[in-house]
Amino acid sequence: MSDAPLPPGLDRASFDKALGELRKTLGDDKVLATELDRQTYLDPYALGTGLDHESCGALTPTSVEDVQAIVGIANAHKLPLWPVARGKNLGYGAAAPVLAGTAVVDMTRMNRILDVDTEFAHCTIEPGVGFYQMDEHLTANRIPLWMSVPANGWGSLVGNALERGIGYTPYGDNTSKLCGLEVVMPDGKLVRTGLGAMDGNKAWANYQYGFGTSWDQMFAQSNFGIVTKANMWLMPEPELSFHALVNLPRMEDIVWAMDVLAKLRLSGVVDHNVVFGNYLHDASAMTTRADWYDGPGPIPDDVAEKIQKKFNVGWWTFHISVYGDEPVAMAKKGLIDAAFKDKLATPIPWVPLRPGEPREPLAVAAGKPFVLPLAVVNWMGGRGGHIGFSPILPPSGKLAWEAFLRRKKRFEAMGLDYYSSFTVGHRHIANVNMILYDRDDAEMTKKAHDLFVQMIGDAREEGYGEYRTHIDFMDAVSKTYDFNGGALMRLNEAVKDTLDPNGIIAPGKNGIWPARLRKGRVA
């Protein structure tokens, strides 16, 4: 039996007093603070025990008033809070806070679907609403709207959008589909952004910016408030879509393929995030390493070829779709076929999809939630974990190739299997370098950690930075954003100190620490 870790500045007695007040105000059933509770909020894929990020327990509000009460008590006692939507930020720390002793504010039970506007294609939801819950709602009510679903569909629509997660339909830049937030600020006041700043405004969910300064993105990947409600745009079900998986046999194929895909994205012919991954992308989801290779060090290239033959996949595979009214979808499909005509040995194997046909087999490409890709954690055997290093690159085949060569070499020098995807966005590549490890193998997790640190440095040297990171690396990654001596972080800190003088909301989130804890920042 071990005691809860205490947040800095609180002793056992003052912590117990704060917890007692929370119990009294919220009710016992909304304060989850047993040793077992704390264990359930550890990062399930931590590089190590995860105890360096152990919470002091979780608070589970069911209303805006609960959230305001929590913030009030936290201010009075300087109890730090770590808000999560459904806590499924897997690979980034899940529900665990940066700072040990922080109380998780778990919004799982604030899960009301307040409105789905079928005519204008948007919804108003609480942060606890999950992709499966929304899918059931849309299906049961025969609402012809699609969500944009990330690779792990276990989580929350709002949480994913606030972390700038992505999906794979034309609405896949999830954070850009937020249209107005309701936020409990660090002083407990309730704010609505965008047109929602006008009480009763009828167009809140139709126009993002509002009047004057626009604040929605201020609450993404930050610690300036607790989002309690959001409007999100949904995609009208297309009259016709086509979906295809394309294999490219040689590793050098990434050079021309990135250039072709980037051009199709820029021109708008392809209007979704194109997942472009190496063979491990599929093999690691369905098999484990021991099925292929039990030697030490990274998988040799000849074994990799065997895996590719077995699954009939290339060195690279990518998924491509078109969506729209029938003439639009047909025309786009034709343009894509033409762009690849001289490059591929066989025609693109398109699969059509129309309303009323089952979307499940196409999963995320057709807005249906899916958790299966999580199986990558089984790759190394044992108690598996994954962590992704994801710098943003310009959409260039040459630059992707250079990044590929350098990262692959780094993985192999560290004795780890190289697994990478180059997701082609509208005007960028998100290059996810996925490190898979066995958590019970101390040497392997140390290598995974060291490789991650190495890649942060490499990318900074090349002029690239990550779009999102794990709680272990938030300080290190934020430091790579170093223009003018870290002027952006100084701005973040000025905002933090003004809005949250007691420093209670998510200390350390994305490298932003409140004044009273700034000295303790990890170097």
Q: Supply the residues annotated as catalytic.
A: 92, 467-468
Tell me: does residue 375 bind other proteins (CB under 8 A). yes
**Contact between 371 and other proteins per CB under 8 A:** yes
Backbone angles phi, psi at 236, to 5 degrees: -60, 135
Which range in 20-28, 66-74, 157-165, 375-383 contacts other proteins by CB under 8 A?
375-383
**Any residues with CB less than 8 A from the CB of 436 and at least 6 apart, and which?**
284, 376, 377, 379, 380, 384, 385, 386, 416, 417, 419
Q: Which is nearer to other proteins, 43 or 475 (CB)?
A: 43
Between the alpha carbon of residue 24 and those of residues 74, 80, 110, 445, the distances in Å are 14, 19, 20, 42
Enumerate residues 6+ apart whose C-beta is below 8 A from 409. none
Nearer to other proteins, 317 or 478 (CB): 317
DSSP label at residue 51: G
> Could you tell me the two tokens for 304?
């990799």
| Part of the chain binding other proteins (CB under 8 A), chosen from 138-146, 187-195, 229-237, 374-382 | 374-382
Smallest gap from Cβ 316 to other proteins, in A, equals 12
* Shortest Cβ 30–other proteins spacing (Å): 9
Beta carbon nearer to other proteins, 313 or 329: 313
Contacts of 100 (CB under 8 A, 6+ apart): 5, 7, 51, 52, 53, 54, 55
Q: Which of 4, 56, 73, 90 binds other proteins (CB under 8 A)?
A: 90
From the list 21, 37, 458, 497, which residue makes contact with other proteins (rule: CB under 8 A)? 37
What is the closest distance, in whole angstroms, from the C-beta atom of residue 402 to other proteins in the complex? 27
Give the DSSP letter string of 80-101: -EEEESSS--TTTTTT--SSTT
Least Å from the CB of residue 94 to other proteins: 7
Query: Does residue 470 interact with other proteins by CB under 8 A?
Result: no
Single out the residue of 19, 32, 67, 129 in contact with other proteins (rule: CB under 8 A): 32
Determine which residue in the list 7, 19, 26, 44 makes contact with other proteins, applying CB under 8 A. 44
Pairing of strands 420-424, 81-84: unpaired
Quick one: 168 or 401, whose CB is closer to other proteins?
168
C-alpha torsion sign, points 167, 171, 173, 176: negative
Q: How many helical (H) and strand (E) elements, i.e. helices and strands, does the chain have?
A: 13, 19
> Closest distance between other proteins and the C-beta of residue 35, in Å?
11
At residue 400, φ and ψ (nearest 5 deg) are -65, -40
Q: Return all residues near 375 (Cβ < 8 A) that are at least 6 apart.
A: 284, 285, 286
Near other proteins by CB under 8 A: residue from 212, 356, 358, 485: 358
How many residues touch other proteins under the rule CB under 8 A: the total is: 60
- The answer to whether the CB of 422 falls within 8 A of the CB of 255 is no
Residue 371 CB, nearest approach to other proteins (Å): 5
460 binds other proteins (CB under 8 A): no
Q: Which of residues 96-155 bind other proteins (CB under 8 A)?
A: 106, 108-109, 132, 153-154
Q: Is 374 in the site for other proteins (CB under 8 A)?
A: yes
State the pairing for strand pair 235-236/392-393: unpaired
* Contact characters 318-357, other proteins, x per CB under 8 A: -xxx---------------------------xxx-----x
Residue 257 has φ and ψ, to the nearest 5°, of -65, -40
Question: Whose Cβ is closer to other proteins: residue 46's or residue 98's?
Answer: 46
> Interface with other proteins includes 481 (CB under 8 A)?
no
Q: Supply the DSSP string of 336-386, one letter for each residue.
A: HHHHHTTT-SS----EEE-TTS--GGGGGGGT----GGGGGGGTTSSSEEE
Residues that bind other proteins (CB under 8 A): 32, 36-37, 39-42, 44-45, 58, 60, 86-87, 90, 94-95, 106, 108-109, 132, 153-154, 243-245, 282, 285-288, 291, 310-311, 313, 317, 319-321, 349-351, 357-358, 360-366, 371-375, 377-378, 382-384
